[in-house]
């Protein structure tokens, strides 16, 4: 087993320990069976490797038929583990899809938990995209077009966001997009703290289900909500790696200017350059390269 495989194994063991702890605290834990199966299989492979090494010493020859067949079996085992990982991530995807659908259903189509449900909004904009994404964008709240279509970032700001995503070498279907509040504030005003507190709980659950590798917060409202401090200004926190924390969950985060701000600034090359440098920080964090 190479160093990377050993490291992955350690991570899986750590996840198992964490899940056991969560289960002891009474949390609903999913995926444990697959983790246990994967670890069992890995442990069998490790044992086989140890035996094979011992035999190599005994035989003092790597190429005796017995040892060779053992190596072949180990290889096969590694292949099966790779296959298991694929199944694990597929299964994980199924779980995510189920949880996301349940969350959407729980919110409903006429949510009135906060006042935004009573202020003339048409549609609850849940969010959309690839639940298995590496990158999740979080905006402030739906505008007029989003309110009509029920989808995030489909108006002018959304078109600019789509351009940014394409410049990253991705499609909208590769990422996940959501907002702090799911209903349009009247006159596109900034959501109030109590509206963000109430609705933002759903965003937090959405983030924990999606569990992206990096979050890109669009604008001051999104980043201040995600950092849990409504006084934060975008200029204080952009252009560096941040962390989104929710309980045990820790996801790297980068904040950049909201696309609407970029539009308001007439798409000034300076602002666009700053946005692009933030995006590159996010891509760097996940080791994604863009030829540009
Ligand atoms: N602005 C946002 O913050 N979110 C949207 O979905 C659209 C515009």
Give 113-160 pLDDT, tens digit per residue.
Answer: 999 999 999 999 999 999 999 999 999 999 999 999 999 999 999 999
User: Which comes out higher in pLDDT, residue 252 or 36?
Assistant: 252
Between 273 and 33, where is the model more confident? 273
248 to 134, 208, 286: CA distances (angstroms): 19, 10, 20
Check: CB of residue 160 under 8 Å from CB of residue 259: yes
Note the pLDDT of residue 11: 77
CA angle, 220 then 224 then 227, to 5°: 140
Residue 260: name the closest of 236, 234, 230 by CA: 234
Q: Collapse the DSSP code of 119 into the 3-class scheme (helix H, G, I; strand E, B; otherwise coil) and give the result.
A: coil
Report residues whose beta carbon is within 6 angstroms of any ligand 1 atom. Answer: 139-143, 146, 152-153, 155, 157-158, 179, 260
- How many angstroms separate the Cα of 132 from the Cα of each of 155, 171, 184? 25, 14, 27
- pLDDT band of residue 14 (cuts 50, 70, 90) is confident
- β-bridge mates for residue 135, sequence order: 214
Segment 228-241 mean pLDDT = 98
CA atoms within 13 A on the CB side of 79: 6
Closest approach atom of ligand 1 to CA 139: 3
What band does 109 get if pLDDT is binned at 50, 70 and 90?
A: very high
Q: Assess contact for 272 and 290: CB atoms under 8 A.
A: no
C-alpha torsion sign, points 82, 85, 90, 91: positive
What pLDDT is recorded for position 46? Answer: 63
Identify the residue with better confidence: 270 or 26.
270
Could you tell which of 123, 142, 165 is best to mutate to test the pocket of ligand 1, judged by most ligand atoms within 8 Å of the CB? Answer: 142
Do 101 and 214 touch, CB atoms closer than 8 A?
no
CA of 286 to the centre of ligand 1 (A): 24
Q: Which residue, 256, 88, 95, is CA-closest to 164?
A: 256
Q: What is the pLDDT of residues 39-83, one digit of tens each?
A: 666 666 665 555 445 544 444 443 434 444 444 544 555 455 456
Minimal-distance CA residue to ligand 1 atom 7:
153
User: pLDDT value at position 45?
Assistant: 61
Centre of ligand 1 from the C-alpha of residue 138, in Å: 9
Cα–Cα dist 23/36, whole Å: 14
């Amino acid at each position: 087993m190479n160093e990377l495989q050993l490291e992955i194994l350690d991570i899986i063991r750590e996840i198992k320990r964490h899940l056991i702890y969560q289960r002891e605290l009474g949390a609903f834990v999913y995926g444990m069976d697959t983790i246990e199966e994967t670890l069992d299989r890995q442990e069998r492979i490790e044992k086989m490797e140890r035996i094979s090494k011992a035999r190599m010493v005994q035989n003092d020859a790597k190429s005796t038929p017995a040892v060779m067949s053992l190596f072949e079996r180990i290889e096969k085992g590694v292949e099966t583990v790779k296959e298991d990982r694929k199944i694990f991530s597929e299964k994980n995807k199924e779980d995510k899809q189920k949880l996301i659908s349940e969350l959407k259903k729980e919110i409903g189509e006429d949510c009135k938990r906060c006042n935004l449900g009573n202020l003339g909004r048409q549609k609850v904009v849940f969010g959309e995209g690839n639940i298995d994404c590496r990158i999740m964008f979080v905006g402030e709240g739906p505008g007029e077009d989003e309110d009509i279509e029920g989808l995030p970032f489909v108006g002018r700001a959304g078109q600019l966001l789509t351009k940014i995503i394409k410049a990253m070498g991705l499609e909208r279907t590769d990422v996940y997009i959501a907002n702090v509040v799911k209903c349009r504030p009247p006159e596109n005003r900034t959501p109030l703290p109590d509206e963000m507190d109430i609705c933002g709980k759903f965003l937090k659950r959405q983030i924990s289900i999606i569990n992206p590798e990096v979050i890109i917060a669009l604008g001051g409202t999104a980043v201040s909500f995600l950092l849990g401090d409504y006084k934060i200004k975008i200029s204080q926190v952009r252009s560096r790696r941040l962390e989104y924390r929710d309980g045990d969950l820790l996801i790297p985060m980068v904040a950049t200017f909201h696309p609407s701000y970029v539009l308001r600034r007439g798409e000034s090359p300076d602002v666009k350059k700053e946005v692009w440098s933030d995006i590159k920080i996010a891509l760097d964090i996940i080791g994604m390269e863009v030829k540009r």
